[in-house]
């Protein structure tokens, strides 16, 4: 006898699976609005992401991993802004009430939320094709926010972690690439349970001149920074930190596609003056997270240039676009 099978109403569903005590809210779930107090001298950083079954995740995706991922991609936007996570709302369209699914999904979501003391303060549930929309809000002193427009000529270009793992896992899941079991175990977490670089984003306040999280692929996301900062960049492909499995595969075209244009890595790409190099290396040690200098910011007229180890210019692959 499973008590949860008696859950039928929308309000029971919200109460059972999505209402937890809040830490930072004046008023949480259960009224027309949540009420939130932003600390003096801080501004609110807000972002929203919608994940759709069959588009952002497979049908029958593991619900606990899905709960993690849909919050992780939003936390990653706060990280890229240098903001402290505070609050989120969740809108959820469900084909049916599946209590086992809801239990796992909410467990994955709250496990990650709790690590960052993030409060779920509101939401909406409805029947429909599975869709998950999270809006997240954090706080940051306005002058310390990490914007896309701040990169300057001569800044070094850095990236956290390693690249291409999520894209490789996706290609494997789609049957386009064969990976052995060990390799799959190594890359699957990149795709299904990415780690938002929140602590790094906070540590980069006052150090990075610009930042963005890598959701659509290195070249495409870097392109946003370059456009908004009015600069160009040169990347040394050989310096790019790639997922270790690529060293085993020795498949150059696949590797370039995944590393330069693969989405879903959720690493931070950031720029900083060259004098910050020591400080950033110390951050890498403190956070036990590789931080790699991958290139330099140049003037706008050079655009984005990627060179291989021989100095040859590589073609920049297209990044993911939902409508292109």
Q: Is the separation of the CB atoms in 155 and 106 below 8 Å?
A: no
The CA distance from 43 to 137, in Å, is 10
- Rank residues 31 and 248 by Cβ distance to its own copies and give the closer one: 31
- Minimum Å gap between C-beta 197 and its own copies is 12
Provide φ and ψ at 316, rounded to 5°. -85, 115
- C-alpha to C-alpha distance for 66 and 132, rounded to whole angstroms: 10
- Residue 131 near its own copies by CB under 8 A: yes
List the one residue out of 286, 231, 240, 234 whose CA is nearest residue 259: 240
Asked if 294 is part of the footprint of its own copies (rule: CB under 8 A), the reply reads: no
Residue numbers 230-249 binding its own copies by CB under 8 A: none
Piece of the chain touching its own copies by CB under 8 A; list 63-71, 108-116, 122-130, 256-264: 122-130
Q: Does 148 bind its own copies (CB under 8 A)?
A: yes
CA distance 241 to 243: 7
Binding-site member from 19, 135, 234, 279 for its own copies (CB under 8 A)? 135
Angle at 17 between CA 14 and CA 18, to 5 degrees: 60
- Under the binding rule (CB under 8 A), the answer on residue 55 touching its own copies is yes
Cα angle vertex 99, ends 93, 105, to 5°?
65
Minimal distance in Å, beta carbon 72 to its own copies? 14
- For its own copies (CB under 8 A), the number of binding residues is 71
DSSP annotation of 72:
H
| Size of the chain, expressed as the number of residues it contains | 324
> For residues 309 and 235, what is the distance between their CA atoms, to the nearest angstrom?
11
Q: Which of 44, 61, 236, 305 binds its own copies (CB under 8 A)?
A: 44
Least spacing, CB of residue 13 vs its own copies, in Å: 6
Q: Is 34 a binder of its own copies (CB under 8 A)?
A: yes
Residue 218 in the binding site for its own copies (CB under 8 A) = no
Is residue 93 a contact point for its own copies (CB under 8 A)? yes
The reply to whether 292 sits near its own copies by the rule CB under 8 A is no
């Amino acid at each position: 006898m499973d008590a949860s099978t008696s859950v039928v109403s929308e309000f029971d569903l919200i109460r059972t699976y999505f209402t937890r005590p809040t830490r930072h809210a004046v008023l949480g779930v259960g009224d027309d609005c949540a009420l939130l107090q932003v600390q003096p001298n801080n501004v609110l950083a807000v972002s929203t992401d919608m994940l759709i079954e069959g588009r952002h995740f497979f049908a029958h995706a593991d619900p606990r991993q899905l709960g993690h991922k849909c919050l992780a991609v939003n936390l990653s936007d706060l990280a890229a802004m240098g903001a402290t996570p505070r609050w989120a709302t969740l809108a959820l369209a469900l084909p049916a009430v599946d209590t086992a699914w809801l239990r796992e999904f909410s467990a994955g979501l709250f496990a990650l939320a709790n690590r960052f003391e993030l409060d779920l303060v509101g939401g909406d549930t409805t029947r429909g094709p599975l869709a998950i929309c999270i809006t997240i809000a954090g706080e940051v002193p306005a002058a310390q926010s990490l914007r896309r427009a701040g990169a300057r000529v001569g800044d070094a270009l850095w990236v956290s972690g390693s690249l291409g793992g999520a894209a490789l896992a996706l290609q494997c899941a789609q049957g386009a690439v064969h990976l052995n079991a060990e390799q799959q175990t190594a890359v699957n977490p990149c795709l299904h349970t990415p780690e938002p670089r929140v602590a790094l984003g906070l540590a980069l306040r006052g150090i990075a001149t610009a930042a963005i999280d890598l959701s659509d692929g290195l070249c495409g996301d870097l392109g946003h920074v370059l456009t908004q900062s009015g600069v160009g960049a040169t990347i040394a492909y050989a310096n790019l930190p790639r997922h270790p499995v690529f060293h085993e595969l020795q498949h150059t075209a696949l590797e370039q596609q995944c590393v330069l244009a693969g989405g879903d890595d959720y690493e931070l790409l950031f720029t900083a003056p060259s004098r910050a190099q020591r400080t950033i290396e110390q951050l890498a040690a403190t956070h036990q997270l590789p931080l790699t200098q991958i290139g330099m910011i140049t003037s706008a007229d050079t655009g984005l240039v990627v060179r291989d180890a021989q100095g040859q210019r590589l073609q920049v692959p297209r990044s993911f676009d939902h409508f292109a």
